[in-house]
C-alpha cells in the first residue's frame, strides 16, 4: 500500500545514498524528463544523480544545474537538512518549470538503510503559468490607461486602478465601498438609460456605450465604458468589472473635424455643404407652416482684379472683412455661407417676399464701401440675385439655380445691384447655353468664316483704302447666327479667346491666298476681345500665325475697345507695346462709348480712332451726336490719329463727315460686308466701290 501511495503522488521521488547514487524511485521519477512517459535509463536505479546534475552545468537543458548540484551535495554531506529550488528545464518541444526538494533522512526515518536523502521533482509549469498570468493581469490592471473599477453584485466598489484616480480624481479612500452610481453619476442620463444598461448586463453579461460621468471636481465629461459581469462556477454574479475611456478629447476632435467639414476655413462661415442643409431646413419649415423662405446669392464685383493685382493674401483678408460685414447686416435666424471664391449666399428663413426683398436691398446697399486691407483702401460693391420659395423653386437645387441666375443678371445689368429671379431669365439662359454648345460644335466643324467690310477714302469715296474682317457663322440647322447673338455668349465663356485665334487663322490664310494670286490687299483690321488681350499671350500668338502664313506686320491692324484698358492695364499695355514693336498698327474701336481718357490716348501708340455708329447715326439731325463726333475728330487730329467713321448709311452722314475732316468711312452706303471671293473681286479694281 505504501508503494502504491508513493507511486500515485504527482511528483518524481528518488532515494539517494551518501554518494548520490539512486537507490529507489517511484513510477513518476522513471518518466521524468522523457516525452510520452518512456523510461529514461539516466534516471534509473544505480545511476549517480549528483553526477548527472554536475554534468548538466552549462547545458541549455538545465539552466539551474550548478545550483541544484551544490544544494544537493550539501544535503548529502549533512551540511543542510533541506534544499528547495524552482528551475526551468528546456526540451526540444517545450519549456517547463520544476521544483526540486531534497531532504536529508534521519536514520529513524530511512526506508532503506543506505538512503541518505530523498529527492522530489514536481512539475510546476501550470502553477508558474497561472502565477505569470496573475502577475500580468495585476500589472495590466494597475498600469492600464483606462480607468478600471471592480464592484460587487450590489455595485459597491471593491478596487480601482491608478488610471481611475487620474481620470476621476477619486482615490481608493474615496471610492472603496461606495456604489459606482453614487460616486460618478452626472445626472445627464435618464432612468430608462440605466434600466437598459442593467437589462443588457443581466441577459448578455456585458454592456458597452457612451456615458456622461462626473469627476470629483464636479466637471461632467464623456466616457466610453465597457462593463462585464463575472460569474462564479454556479453562475451567480460575483463581480462587475468596468473599463472607462475618457473620450472628451476624441469628441472634441470629432467636433473640430465636423466643424471643418461644414465651415469655410478662411471666413468661418458655413460652407456649401452646411448651406445646403440649412436651406433644406428652411424649405422644410416653410412647407410645414405654409410659409415662405428666400435665398440670396451675392458676388463681389471685380474681385478677380484684387487677386490678380494685389495677390491672394490681400484677397483673402478682404473676404474675411466682407464676411464680418455681412454678419452685421442679417438677422440671427438667417444663415450666411461662403459658396466658393468671392460668392456668398444668405438663407432667409421664415420670411415673406417683402421682408426678403427688404433684407436683400439692405445687404446690397450696406455692403458696398471701402475696406482697409494691408494699408490699402479697397472699394467693394456686390451683385445680388434673390429667389423665393415656393414660387421660384421648391427644392434646394431649383432655388439655388434661380438665385444664381438672378445674380448673373445683376452683373449683366451693370453690377452693384439686386435682381429678382423671373422665369424669362431662365429661358434666356437656356437659350444661351444651347447657343454656346452649338458654337463649340461650330469651331470643331469649321462652320465659321470671315467677311470683309470695305473702308473708303472719305474725300474720294470710290477709292478702297482698307477693310475690317468680321466673323460670321452659318449654322447647318438654324441658318445664319448674328454676331450680336454669339459674340456675347462667347465673351461670357472661354470661347471668346478661341474665336480670336480662329479669326487670326482665317484672316492670314485669306491674305496669303490673295498675295499669292498677285493682289495687293489694303491693310485689314480685326477686333480683339478685352479678355484675349488681358491674358497676356496675344502678341506672341499673332506673331506665330503671321510667321506661319508669311504675312508682314503692315498687312494687319488690331482694333480694341476702350473697355480693354479698364482691367489689368499693365498686361494690356505690355501687349500693346509688343504689337507696336512688331510693326502692327493699333486702332481704338467704338470711341466715345467706353472709358478712355486723354491720358490713355496720349500714352497709347495708336494709328487710328474709330467713331462709333451710335454717334454717326445722328449726324445731320442730332446736336449731341454731332458735338461728340466733332470732339472726337478734333481730338484725333490733335494726337495725329487717322479717323474712321463706322455705319455710314446716308448721303447726309457722308457729307457731314467730309465737311468735318473725317479720313475714312465704312458702312452700307458704299458697301456691305463682302464674302472673301467678292472682296477679292473688288481687289481687281480698288478704285471702284461695290
Select the more confidently predicted residue: 481 or 114: 481
Distance of CA 642 to the CA centre of its chain: 55
450/507 Cα distance (integer angstroms): 7
Task: Write phi, then psi, for 281 (nearest 5 degrees).
Answer: -65, -45
Question: Could you give the residue ranges of the DSSP H alpha helices within 291-373?
Answer: 303-310, 312-329, 353-366
Same domain for 528 and 677, yes or no, is: yes
Same domain, 197 and 245: yes
Secondary structure element (H or E) that encloses residue 227, with its range: strand 220-231
Q: For residue 446, how far is the Cα from the chain centroid? A: 40
The pTM for the full model equals 0.52
**Domain shared by 391 and 483, yes or no:** no
Contact residues for 356 (Cβ-Cβ < 8 A; gap 6+): 292, 293, 294, 296, 348, 386, 388
The mean pLDDT value for 560-580 works out to 79
Within a domain: 581? yes
Greater confidence, 601 or 632? Answer: 632
> What is the pLDDT at residue 690?
40
Does residue 302 sit in helix, strand or coil?
coil
pLDDT of residue 194 exceeding 50: yes
Asked if residue 456 and residue 356 are part of one domain, the reply reads no
Q: Which of 27-36, 128-137, 300-309 has the highest mean pLDDT?
A: 300-309
258 located within any domain:
no
Per-residue pLDDT at 684: 76
> Do residues 435 and 489 touch, judged by C-beta distance below 8 A?
yes
Closest to 411 measured CA to CA, from 420, 419, 403:
419
Please indicate, yes or no, whether residues 493 and 528 belong to a single structural domain of this protein: yes
Between 131-135, 212-216, 565-569, the lowest mean confidence (pLDDT) is in 565-569
Q: What is the CATH number of the domain that holds 34?
A: 3.30.450.20
With respect to residue 452, please indicate whether it lies within any of the assigned structural domains: yes
What single DSSP character describes residue 179?
B
HSE-CB at 203 with a 13 A cutoff on CA atoms is 6
Domain of residue 401 covers: 263-421
Bond before 390 cis per omega within 30 degrees? yes
Q: What is the pLDDT of residue 5?
A: 53
Tens digits of residue pLDDT in 433-449: 889 899 999 999 999 99
Residue 564 has pLDDT above 80, yes or no: no
Model confidence at 531: pLDDT above 60 = yes
Looking at residue 161, its pLDDT comes to 85
In the block, residue with C-alpha cell 534516471: 43
Task: Of 499, 549, 508, 546, give the one whose Cα is nearest residue 527.
Answer: 499
The per-residue pLDDT for 333 is 85
User: Chain-wide mean pLDDT for the chain?
Assistant: 84
Summarize pLDDT for 75-90 with one digit per residue, the tens: 888 888 899 988 776 6
Same domain, 416 and 501: no
Q: For residues 68 and 153, state if they share a domain.
A: no
196-255 tens-digit pLDDT:
888 888 888 888 888 888 888 888 888 888 888 888 888 888 888 888 877 766 666 666
- 413: domain CATH number is 3.30.70.270
Distance separating alpha carbons of residues 306 and 378, to the nearest angstrom: 8
Q: What is the pLDDT of residues 241-290, one digit of tens each?
A: 888 877 766 666 666 666 667 788 888 888 888 889 999 999 999 999 88
pLDDT digits (tens, 9 = 90+) for 42-76: 677 888 888 877 776 544 445 567 788 888 888 88
Q: Are residues 210 and 281 in the same domain?
A: no
Amino acid 244: pLDDT: 81
Q: Which three cell numbers stand for residue 326?
A: 455681412
Bridge partners for 561 per DSSP: 589
Phi, psi of 595 (to 5 degrees): -130, 30
Domain count for the chain: 4
Choose one of 86, 102, 131: the last residue of a domain: 131
Task: Report pLDDT for 454.
Answer: 96
Digit-coded pLDDT (tens) for 389-428: 998 888 998 899 899 889 988 888 888 899 998 877 667 7
Last residue of a domain, one of 251, 274, 301: 251
Are 69 and 50 in contact by the 8 Å Cβ rule? The answer is: yes
C-alpha cell at position 541? 500668338
Q: Are residues 374 and 502 in the same domain?
A: no
Winning range, highest mean pLDDT, from 17-26, 183-192, 202-211, 507-516: 507-516
3-state helix, strand, coil in the chain (%, to 5): 45, 25, 30
Residue after which a domain boundary falls, among 225, 251, 277: 251
Residue 561, C-alpha cell as written in the block: 475697345
The burial of 663, by beta-carbon neighbours within 10 Å (0-12 exposed, 13-18 middle, 19 or more buried), is given as buried
Same domain, 102 and 203: no
Taking residue 383's Cβ as centre, other Cβ atoms within 10 Å add up to 24
What percent of the chain has a predicted confidence (pLDDT) above 70? 87
- Nearest partner of 98 among 117, 131, 120, judged by Cα: 120
- Look at residue 137 and tell me if it is in a domain: no
Amino acid at each position: 500500500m505504501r508503494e502504491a501511495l508513493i507511486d500515485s503522488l504527482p511528483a518524481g521521488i528518488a532515494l539517494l545514498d551518501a554518494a548520490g547514487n539512486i537507490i529507489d524511485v517511484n513510477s513518476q521519477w522513471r518518466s521524468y524528463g522523457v516525452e510520452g512517459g518512456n523510461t529514461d535509463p539516466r534516471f534509473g536505479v544505480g545511476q549517480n544523480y549528483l553526477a548527472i546534475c554536475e554534468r548538466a552545468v552549462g547545458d541549455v537543458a538545465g539552466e539551474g544545474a550548478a545550483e541544484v548540484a551544490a544544494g544537493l551535495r550539501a544535503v548529502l554531506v549533512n551540511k543542510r537538512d533541506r534544499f528547495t529550488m524552482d528551475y526551468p528545464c528546456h526540451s526540444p518541444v517545450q519549456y517547463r518549470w520544476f521544483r526540486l526538494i531534497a531532504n536529508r533522512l534521519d536514520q529513524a526515518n530511512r526506508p532503506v538503510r543506505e538512503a541518505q536523502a530523498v529527492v522530489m521533482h514536481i512539475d510546476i509549469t501550470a502553477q508558474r503559468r497561472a502565477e505569470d498570468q496573475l502577475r500580468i493581469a495585476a500589472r495590466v490592471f494597475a498600469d492600464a490607461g483606462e480607468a478600471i473599477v471592480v464592484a460587487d453584485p450590489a455595485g459597491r466598489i471593491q478596487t480601482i486602478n491608478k488610471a481611475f484616480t487620474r481620470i476621476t480624481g477619486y482615490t481608493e479612500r474615496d471610492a472603496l465601498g461606495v456604489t459606482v452610481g453614487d460616486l460618478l453619476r452626472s445626472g445627464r442620463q435618464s432612468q430608462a438609460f440605466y434600466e437598459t444598461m442593467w437589462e443588457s448586463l443581466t441577459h448578455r453579461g456585458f454592456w458597452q456605450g457612451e456615458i456622461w460621468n462626473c469627476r470629483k471636481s464636479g466637471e461632467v465629461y464623456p466616457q466610453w465604458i465597457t462593463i462585464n459581469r463575472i460569474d462564479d462556477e454556479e453562475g451567480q454574479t460575483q463581480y462587475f468589472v468596468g473599463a472607462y475611456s475618457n473620450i472628451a478629447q476624441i469628441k472634441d476632435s470629432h467636433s473640430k473635424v465636423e466643424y471643418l467639414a461644414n465651415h469655410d476655413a478662411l471666413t468661418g462661415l458655413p460652407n456649401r455643404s452646411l448651406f445646403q442643409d440649412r436651406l433644406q431646413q428652411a424649405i422644410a419649415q416653410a412647407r410645414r407652416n405654409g410659409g415662405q423662405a428666400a435665398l440670396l446669392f451675392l458676388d463681389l464685383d471685380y474681385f478677380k482684379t484684387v487677386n490678380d493685382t494685389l495677390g491672394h493674401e490681400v484677397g483673402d483678408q478682404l473676404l474675411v472683412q466682407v464676411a464680418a460685414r455681412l454678419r452685421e447686416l442679417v438677422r440671427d435666424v438667417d444663415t450666411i455661407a461662403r459658396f466658393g471664391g468671392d460668392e456668398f449666399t444668405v438663407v432667409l428663413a421664415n420670411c415673406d417676399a417683402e421682408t426678403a426683398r427688404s433684407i436683400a436691398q439692405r445687404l446690397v446697399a450696406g455692403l458696398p464701401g471701402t475696406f482697409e486691407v494691408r494699408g490699402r483702401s479697397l472699394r467693394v460693391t456686390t451683385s445680388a440675385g434673390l429667389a423665393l420659395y415656393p414660387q421660384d423653386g421648391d427644392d434646394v437645387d431649383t432655388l439655388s439655380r434661380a438665385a444664381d441666375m438672378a445674380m448673373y443678371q445683376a452683373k449683366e445689368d451693370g453690377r452693384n445691384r439686386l435682381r429678382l429671379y423671373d422665369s424669362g431669365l431662365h429661358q434666356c439662359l437656356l437659350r444661351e447655353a444651347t447657343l454656346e454648345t452649338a458654337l463649340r460644335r461650330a469651331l470643331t466643324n469649321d462652320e465659321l468664316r470671315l467677311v470683309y467690310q470695305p473702308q473708303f477714302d472719305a474725300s474720294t469715296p470710290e477709292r478702297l483704302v482698307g477693310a475690317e474682317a468680321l466673323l460670321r457663322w452659318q449654322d447647318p440647322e438654324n441658318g445664319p447666327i448674328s454676331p450680336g447673338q454669339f459674340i456675347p455668349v462667347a465673351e461670357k465663356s472661354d470661347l471668346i479667346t478661341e474665336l480670336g485665334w480662329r479669326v487670326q487663322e482665317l484672316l492670314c490664310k485669306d491674305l496669303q491666298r490673295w498675295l499669292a494670286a498677285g493682289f495687293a490687299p489694303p491693310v485689314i483690321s480685326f477686333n480683339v476681345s478685352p479678355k484675349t488681350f488681358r491674358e497676356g499671350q496675344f502678341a506672341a500668338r499673332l506673331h506665330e500665325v503671321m510667321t506661319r502664313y508669311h504675312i508682314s506686320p503692315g498687312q494687319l491692324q488690331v482694333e480694341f475697345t476702350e473697355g480693354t484698358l479698364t482691367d489689368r492695364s499693365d498686361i494690356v499695355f505690355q501687349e500693346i507695346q509688343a504689337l507696336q514693336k512688331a510693326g502692327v498698327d493699333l486702332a481704338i474701336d467704338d470711341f466715345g462709348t467706353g472709358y478712355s481718357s486723354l491720358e490713355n490716348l496720349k500714352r497709347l501708340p495708336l494709328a487710328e480712332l474709330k467713331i462709333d455708329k451710335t454717334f454717326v447715326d445722328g449726324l445731320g439731325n442730332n446736336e449731341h451726336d454731332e458735338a461728340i463726333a466733332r470732339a472726337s475728330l478734333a481730338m484725333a487730329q490733335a494726337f495725329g490719329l487717322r479717323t474712321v467713321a463706322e455705319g455710314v448709311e446716308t448721303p447726309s452722314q457722308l457729307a457731314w463727315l467730309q465737311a468735318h475732316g473725317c479720313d475714312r468711312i465704312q458702312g452700307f452706303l458704299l458697301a456691305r460686308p463682302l464674302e472673301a471671293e467678292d472682296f477679292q473681286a473688288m481687289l481687281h479694281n480698288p478704285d471702284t466701290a461695290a
